[in-house]
Amino acid sequence: MPDDDLLHFEDLIPGQVFPLGPKTVTAEEIIAFASEFDAQPMHLDAEAGKNSILGGLAASGWHSCSMMMRMMADSYLLRMAAEGAPGVDYVKWKKPVLAGDVLKGETRVLDGRPSKSRPGIGIVSFRHELRNQRGETVLESENPVMLRRRAVEEAAQ
């Protein structure tokens, strides 16, 4: 995609909403992720999950975050002049994400400001929320993302 067609810092408006998902979470995916990164019993085995306070075979919280990242990429991030993120303000894993759940939600633009240290960059705060097929919020998070600034790029040409 030509750089001009990407969404830049100036193109994002507070209140703007991008949809996330839907994404069906399979037992196979839960177990594959947990086997590599988070081999706790409730993420590997349905029986162990039932006997835990999570109530079933449950995705690692980091797997839920990674699945949300994929939804973000598919929805908007790959159409943005994004330069990564300095971190995450918070993540709330509000309900277990269980095998068979269907997740969807949205990212909302909160606000933006030019970077003090990088003249070509603006920092935009996003708020993300995912809900399951019963409408229960399973994940909430906010994080800042670095985007290239359109005006500065044009001025430099």
Indicate the residue among 53 and 156 with the shorter CB distance to its own copies. Answer: 53
Least distance to its own copies from the beta carbon of 109, Å? 18
Least distance to its own copies from the beta carbon of 106, Å? 19
Least distance to its own copies from the beta carbon of 27, Å? 17
Query: Using CA of residue 129, residue 133, residue 135, residue 137, what is the dihedral sign?
Result: negative
CA distances (Å), 151 to each of 9, 10, 34, 81, 144, in order? 9, 8, 44, 13, 20
Indicate the residue among 5 and 15 with the shorter CB distance to its own copies. Answer: 5
Least distance to its own copies from the beta carbon of 11, Å? 18
Contact 60, 43 (CB under 8 A): yes
Q: What is the DSSP letter of 95?
A: S
Indicate the residue among 15 and 28 with the shorter CB distance to its own copies. Answer: 28
User: Which residues of this chain interact with its own copies, rule CB under 8 A?
Assistant: 33, 36-40, 42, 52-54, 58, 60-63, 65-67, 69-70, 73, 77-78, 82-94, 96, 118, 121, 146
From the list 142, 144, 137, the residue with the least C-alpha distance to 121 is 144
